[in-house]
Structure 1
Amino acid sequence: MTPTAPATATTPSVGRRADGASPVGVVLALVRRDLGDPRQFRLPLLLDLAFGIVNLVVFLFISRALTPSSGTDLARSPSYFDFVAVGITFLLVLQAANTQLTSRVLREQRGGTLELLAAQPVPVPALAIGTAGYPFLFALLRSGVYLAILSTVLGLRTERADWWGVAAVLVAGSAAMMAVGIALAAFTVAVGHGDSAARLFVVGLAFVSGTYFPVSELPGPLPELTAVLPSRIALDGVRAALAGNDWAASAGVLLGATALLLPLSSWAFGRALRFAARRGTLKRD
């Protein structure tokens, strides 16, 4: 009898870099993996959309009860609701994307998938961007749904809107904020408690970026200091595009911020992986 060869364990091919595979291919493979998970498209997505719509409706009624004082700078928005609706849309997108990313990284750690991927010959920037790709792609989808509901049902004034500009600023802003999300993912890998950190960070960012009220109302030097925040630049750009004003400068600054921040956050993610590997926490219980 000829002995049969023993079965050998195989590892998942997602994220494995074959000879000649490009980092772009690795990113696409990770995004396809997440898109292939049917759980992503069911109740969580519907609940996120419902939560966002309820928030927008609440502020619609608040805006009818409150009138800003004369001379308040609403970034050329025709009303307070038009101003805050854009802020809430972008905030909900950031919140969903960042909390989903940190939650996914934590699940990957607990399931051992992150440890498996880190052991593969995959470039760290491709691993970081590929892991963040799904949450931010669907954040963009959410923003489109919210804006469509705002303009068709809730009365957002868009008669002068440059929709190409709105799309360009949203894409550039999401790319810049992806770098922030990857930095939060690095914190999750190295320290843990990423969900709480992401929620706290997004709330603070919303407060100083002009989500609910104009940044001119911030105390002291904060209006000037927050001018460099990608979230504030994105909000100003989207509001400008919806009002038919110049948005190209905001989009250009956001692309420059992405070029600077994405390599830095990817480097931080790689350092976090090495730190967790040394401590033996790449797989958490």
Structure 2
Amino acid sequence: MTGLAPARPETRRHARTDAIRHAGLGAPVALLRRDLTERTLFRMPLVLDLVFGMMNLLVFLFISRVLVPAGGHESFASGAYFDFVAVGIIFMLVVQSATTQLISRVSREQRAGTLEMLVGQPVPASLLALGLAAYPLLFVLLRATAYLAVLALCFGLGVGHADWLGVAVVLLTGATTMMAVGLVLVALSLTVGHGDTLARLLVVAFSFLSGTYFPITALPGPLPGLTTVLPTRSALDGLRAALSGGDWMGSAGALLVAALVLLPLGCWMFDRALRGAARRGVLTRD
């Protein structure tokens, strides 16, 4: 007696991808639903990321007990260095996920052959871009929320004066803006390759220039003024202000403008990159 073998994960993924052709304008939701059905793709990375992230933050907690900035820092009522650097690390992890993870997902679609299938569907490239970015966006928001909760409950992060609406708005606009940057990097990766390397370099640059580990005022020469154009600086300033009960609306407004500019640009570049990759026959790679 012969039984039916269970469908391979690749087969199920191809079937769900093929179903997106009927989704129309709901393609982003269909792609997100497809990704969420792959439970191991969602649960294990979040758990492992939280464990390693907490170990990293624990190191900075011990450092902060030795390193005490003179006069504290105005970004937090507590003036504690750990409060300052913890928020910086949280958002840099958001930046990392929004860029490197998005590139990794598109590369996985290429290797599985599903990217070529998606491009062949009667769905605009902008909707495909939003659909592919939907899962990483949800992941980074849950990631940041989990970090904030653990830091407040277990590490003593000062949130007594926090404006949680401001925290949510800044996180959402900041993550959306960085996801748009991720789409630009995906387009570059499809066009010239090495997108993951560019993303890692960008994360390092943002970490150094946006005030992740030290106040912007410590940068030499004109750099503090020049960094005002960086969305990561606006996000860090706004997030720290919201957590300390300060004014976050200016930073949120700057992030909203950046998202409105960068998101259409990222979708357009993604569309052009897909067209070029289709002409060169590199939508599927080993």
TM-score (norm. length: structure 2)? 0.90
Q: Distance in 1 between matches of 2:122 and 2:61?
A: 51
Q: Is the contact made by 1:176 and 1:257 (CA closer than 8 Å) also made in structure 2?
A: yes
Q: Distance in 2 between matches of 1:12 and 1:34?
A: 10
Structure 1 or 2: more helix by fraction: 2
Residues 157 and 202 of structure 1, relative CA distance in 2, 3 Å threshold: same
Task: Read off the aligned partner of 1:16 and give its amino acid letter.
Answer: R
Deviation at 1:15, TM superposition (A): 3.2
Q: Which residue of 1 aligns with 2:220?
A: 219
Choose 73-82 or 195-204, whichever is displaced more: 73-82
Q: Which residue of 2 aligns with 1:4?
A: none
Residues 14 and 63 of structure 1, relative CA distance in 2, 3 Å threshold: farther
Q: Which residue of 2 aligns with 1:122?
A: 123
Deviation at 1:26, TM superposition (A): 1.1
The reply to whether residue 83 of structure 1 matches residue 84 of structure 2 is yes
Q: Distance in 2 between matches of 1:35 and 1:53?
A: 25
Q: Which runs of 5+ in 1 are unaligned?
A: 1-9
Q: Which residue of 1 aligns with 2:206?
A: 205
Q: Which residue of 1 aligns with 2:20?
A: 15
Q: Is the contact made by 1:15 and 1:127 (CA closer than 8 Å) also made in structure 2?
A: no
What per-residue deviation string (whole Å, max 9, x for no partner) do you get for residues 133-184 of structure 1? 1011110101011111111110111111111111111011111111011111
Q: Distance in 1 between matches of 2:45 and 2:212?
A: 24
Q: Give me the CA root mean square deviation.
A: 1.8
TM-score (norm. length: structure 1)? 0.90
Q: Is the contact made by 1:73 and 1:216 (CA closer than 8 Å) also made in structure 2?
A: no
The reply to whether residue 93 of structure 1 matches residue 94 of structure 2 is yes
Q: Distance in 2 between matches of 1:277 and 1:83?
A: 46
Q: Distance in 1 between matches of 2:48 and 2:134?
A: 20
Task: Read off the aligned partner of 2:212 and give its amino acid letter.
Answer: T
Between the two proteins, what is the percent identity of the paired residues? 59
Deviation at 1:195, TM superposition (A): 2.2
Task: Read off the aligned partner of 2:39 and give its amino acid letter.
Answer: P
The reply to whether residue 268 of structure 1 matches residue 277 of structure 2 is no
Task: Read off the aligned partner of 2:21 and give its amino acid letter.
Answer: R
Aligned length: 272
What per-residue deviation string (whole Å, max 9, x for no partner) do you get for residues 49-96 of structure 1? 1111111111111111112244x7553452111110100011112212
Q: Distance in 2 between matches of 1:16 and 1:282?
A: 18
Q: Is the contact made by 1:105 and 1:189 (CA closer than 8 Å) also made in structure 2?
A: no
Q: Distance in 2 between matches of 1:83 and 1:11?
A: 44
Q: Which residue of 2 aligns with 1:35?
A: 36
Q: Is the contact made by 2:112 and 2:284 (CA closer than 8 Å) also made in structure 1?
A: yes
Deviation at 1:17, TM superposition (A): 4.8
